[in-house]
Structure formats: C-alpha cells, structure tokens
Amino acid sequence: MTTIIDNFRYEQVRVADGVDLNVAVGGTGSPIVLLHGFPQTHLMWRHVAADLAADHTVICPDLRGYGDSSKPSADDPAVYSKRTMAADIVTLAGELGHDRFALAGHDRGALVAFRAGLDHPDVITHLACLDIVPTLDTWKVLNGVTAAVAFHIFLMAQPPRLPEIMISNSADAFFGHFLDAWGADPAAIPADVRAEYLRACAAAVPSIVADFRATAGIDIEQDQADLDAGNKLRMPVTVIQQDWGAQLGYDASAVWRAWAPDLSHHLVTAGHYMAESAPADITAFLHEMLAR
C-alpha cells in the first residue's frame, strides 16, 4: 500500500471462509466503523478518522472486493450481496473486540451500512449514511434523462462479461470520470490518493461489477422483503446528502423517514466526496449522531 492513514495500525482480519478484510484501526474509546464508497477505499475517511480517533476507536476497512481486501469470485449472487458484506463488518468488529458499535458509510459503504442496520439492530448503536437513498428507492427515483448521472449502475447491472471487459479496457478513464465529475473540490483528492484509488479499482474490476450487479438483483429482493415485513431501522439514523431530491424530483427526507423513524437528515453542498472536501462538517455531524 502506497498511502495509509497516519498513526493507524493496519492488519488483515479473516471475516469469512477465504475472505480477509484490510483494515486500519486507530484511537481509543467507543467504537465506530467507517465504510468507504465507490470508486474509493478506506482512505476516503483519512481526515474524519483522524479527528474521531481523539475519543473513539475508529475502524476503517476496505470492503470485500475493494482496496486490499479479498476479492472472492462472484460464483453466487450472495457473494457480493449487501447482506453478506454487512455480515463481514459485524464479524470484523467482533474479531477486534467490539460486539456493539456505531456505523457510518458513504455511497456503496452506506448501502452496506443500511443493510447492517436492518439485519443487526442489536449490534449497530447508531447509523450514518452519506449521499445515498436505499437500494429500492435508488431504482425508483432514476427516471428519464436525469438517470444519466447514474449510467454506471445500469452498465454494471448487465450480465457478466460485457461490463467487465468494457471497464477493464478503460479502467483509469472509467473510474477517473467519477472522481472528476462528482467532486466539488478537485484539491480534496490529492494526486497520491487519486492514484491509489485508480490502482485499487483497476485491480478489482470483476468484484466491483459484482457488487453493483448484486444491487440490481439480490439486494432488491432482500430490501423488498424487509419493506413487506414492515422492518425499519431501530437505531438513531443520520443521513447526510446532496440535494438529490431537487435534482431528481423526490423528497429525500420522506424517502428516508419511511425506513428510519429516528432520523436526522442534513443536506450539504460539499459534493459527493464530502468526507474529503468537508471533513470538519462530516466529523461534526458524526459527533452529533454519537451524542444522541
């Protein structure tokens, strides 16, 4: 690894048969796990993690299929389901000595965090989701030409082979497009961190595609089952996002409140990579959440 979170220790932790997660751990105190998004690694939390480590044990893994974590073959849809990936995180925290913890996720990591909150309500004490709506709602709000902002999720929903070939043949251009298009402040992702994101993503194309493909299949089925059963997030939930509702024509707060009765909803203007472009603001929101 060429870039690390300073003053954090690194280890590989076995979370399932043949699956090890690369994880950075720092600080002391009550635990919080931070899950990264696409097309990034745990490094996206480097500023927020350092701040939170002053009074919390901060755990920053690379998700299965990303960064320097294991990339099992997607020979079954469940391999990259958010349920499986959430179970990884609960096992990881347990292996590190924490049977209850707060959880924050951004983008893909927020989908994993959302599933962890539904599946493990006695484990997750507080939940923060950055710049998403839940899977079912994502597909519902992407309509017409405005859906072009998320063309990649339609591409990676296609059957195996074509998306993997197309993305592998232009990996830096593909992943770099999102780093450029979704950021409010180009300086927020310096050259060494950008290079690390591109390196990690180019080495993980099949597993990244499998993660997104699951969100067009098994993840929908599992979320729909929870919706039909009336299951909701039982812990305090904080949502921090851009005003996607204004752009795509829906009430983001109402979407989230249907899943999270104890909701604190915040709109920000820091762009998608808000933990890097406005880390002090995100840290403050997380401190506020942890105090609830």
pLDDT digit string (tens) for the chain, length 292 residues:
458 999 999 999 999 999 999 999 999 999 999 999 999 999 999 999 999 999 999 999 999 999 999 999 999 999 999 999 999 999 999 999 999 999 999 999 999 999 999 999 999 999 999 999 999 999 988 888 888 989 999 999 999 999 999 999 999 999 999 999 999 899 999 999 999 999 999 999 999 999 999 999 999 999 999 999 999 999 999 999 998 777 777 888 999 999 999 999 999 999 999 999 999 999 999 999 999 9
**Contact at 8 Å (CB) between 115 and 121?**
no
Q: Does 113 map to a domain?
A: yes
Structurally, the chain folds into a number of domains equal to: 1
User: Which structural domain range is residue 236 located in?
Assistant: 9-290
Task: Indicate whether 150 belongs to any domain.
Answer: yes
DSSP 101: E
| Domain presence at residue 1 | no
Residue 47 is a catalytic residue = no
Q: How far apart are CA 209 and CA 17, in angstroms?
A: 21
User: Residue 73 maps to which CATH number?
Assistant: 3.40.50.1820
> Given the structure tokens 């959880």, which residue do they identify?
103
Q: Does residue 274 lie within any of the structural domains?
A: yes
- Give the model's pLDDT for residue 160: 96
- The verdict on residue 50 lying in a domain is yes
- For residue 38, tell me if it sits in a domain: yes
| Residue 272 a catalytic site member | yes
Burial annotation 201-221 (CB, 10 A radius, 16+ → b, else e): bbebbbbbbbbbbbbbebbee
Catalytic residue among 20, 68, 107, 223: 107
Q: Which single residue is written with the structure tokens 């500023």?
A: 47
Separation CA 273–CA 243 (nearest Å): 14
Write the CB contacts of 139 (distance below 8 Å, at least 6 apart in sequence): 216, 220
On whether residue 68 sits in a domain, the answer given is yes
Contact by Cβ (8 Å): 141, 249: yes
Please tell me what DSSP assigns to residue 77. Answer: G
14 CB neighbour count, 10 Å cutoff: 13
In a domain, 121, yes or no: yes
